[in-house]
Amino acid sequence: MLDSGTIERFEKISTPFYYYDMDLLRRTVDTVAELSARHNLRVHYAVKANADSRILGYISSKGFGADCVSGNEVLHAYECGFPADKIVYAGVGKSDKEIHDAMKLGIEAFNCESLQEIFVINEMAREYDMVANVSVRINPDIDAHTHKYVTTGLYENKFGISQHEFDKLIELLDKSRNINFIGLHFHIGSQITRVAEVFALECERVNEIVSYFEQNGLKVKNINLGGGLGVDYDDPDGNPIPDFETWFSTIDRKIARRPDQAVHVEPGRSMVAQCGTLISRVVFVKSGETKNFLILDAGMNDLIRPALYGAYHRIENLSAQMRPFFGSHQAYDIVGPVCESSDVWGAGRLLPLSVRGDLMAIRSTGAYGQVMASRYNMKDLAPAVFSDRLDDAPRNNDYFKII
């Protein structure tokens, strides 16, 4: 919930921008630190959710590791303070250069997603006279009950190695001299809301798979269960910090581990979504034939989630909250400026009567927001503005006050 002092200060800042509530980020990260220690889990933050340097700097300062999915993420995480031996690197299509750079950096592990990748990493390590740590990502064929675009653990998905290749995999790992097999990796999907049920199921399947590998002579030192904890997009103020306790305690209870086995998790969205808000302005109000449009200066180029997944984000009119009389409400189709019909923030949203220049908040946008932005239509990228550095934000030029 944004206070009136902050909203007043927003008036002076050029829109659109991503506002990060650093106090909420700290409270969220500190909660993860405390609960992961209590449940004896190692955390690798999924950099893909938000790769802002300040945010990464704070997360790395808490001693967490990083989960990366590209060579650039690996190098950036390292520059932002994550030690190389706490960086793991997943992804189905690592290029030779990306593998080379990560190997030279001495990362904790490559999370390999195909037999061919393991073969190539072994060959490259041999060429450099090195031994590379490898975890193998397994596709456990479990339904995460989430959006199909963020479901990753079914056989129809491209991720991980499936059961029919287990025996070939064990044979390959056995004979690959320049690879040190350290564990198994899983990630079944994102924005999981049936937390206890889905993660309990994942743990049961993981226990079976780990046993199979160990029975076949491979010591599984690390069990990495990936990320996926969902956040409350409907009520970000009611649930600013996601339910890490249910997630972690389910894993702690259900995973079968020996004292010398480490269990890892890779939260992304749950650590950063609620601290971010995309702040925009109404540029025009237009009455269509059958509906009223609020046209904002932020569009799908700034946040692609609604256009790509039909994702819901709560939208609030901040300026209307500041007016002495709230006035009546009206249904609006809230849209962006981009030349695509899918550039819609929300259809038929009930908002206080809104006018040109009103500041709008698009909530829960700290994860998969700024990182997925593009310059489509040659728009500028929305910058990051931090709650504890509001005075450093780019100033606007009072356009909306003149008219």
Residues binding ligand LLP (CB under 6 A): 46, 48-49, 67, 90, 150, 187, 190-191, 226-229, 266-270, 305, 309, 368
Interaxial angle between packed helices 244-254 and 22-38, expressed in degrees from 0 to 180 and rounded to the nearest 10:
20
Q: Which is nearer to ligand LLP, 137 or 281 (CB)?
A: 137
Q: Which is nearer to ligand LLP, 108 or 358 (CB)?
A: 108
Phi-psi bin for 40: left (phi > 0), alpha (psi -120 to 50), beta? left
Q: Supply the minimum distance, in Å, between the C-beta of residue 372 and ligand LLP.
A: 6
Q: Supply the minimum distance, in Å, between the C-beta of residue 368 and ligand LLP.
A: 3
Alpha-carbon dihedral sign for residues 115, 152, 210, 71: positive
Q: For residue 337, is the peptide bond before it cis, meaning its omega torsion is within 30 degrees of 0?
A: no
Q: Supply the minimum distance, in Å, between the C-beta of residue 159 and ligand LLP.
A: 7
Q: Which is nearer to ligand LLP, 125 or 367 (CB)?
A: 367
The token pair that represents 246 in the structure block: 């249910």
- DSSP class of residue 318 equals H
- Determine phi and psi for 240, rounding to 5 degrees: -70, -30
Residue 131 near residue 179, CB atoms below 8 Å:
yes
Q: Supply the minimum distance, in Å, between the C-beta of residue 186 and ligand LLP.
A: 9
Q: Which is nearer to ligand LLP, 354 or 370 (CB)?
A: 370
Q: Supply the minimum distance, in Å, between the C-beta of residue 323 and ligand LLP.
A: 33
Q: Supply the minimum distance, in Å, between the C-beta of residue 23 and ligand LLP.
A: 21
The helix/strand/coil state of 312 is: coil
The helix/strand/coil state of 46 is: strand
Q: Which is nearer to ligand LLP, 166 or 309 (CB)?
A: 309
| Residue-wise DSSP of 202-267 | HHHHHHHHHHHHHHTT----EEE----B---SS-TTT-SS--HHHHHHHHHHH----TT-EEEE--
Q: Supply the minimum distance, in Å, between the C-beta of residue 3 and ligand LLP.
A: 28
Q: Which is nearer to ligand LLP, 264 or 379 (CB)?
A: 264
H/E element, 335: strand 329-335
Q: Which is nearer to ligand LLP, 80 or 373 (CB)?
A: 373
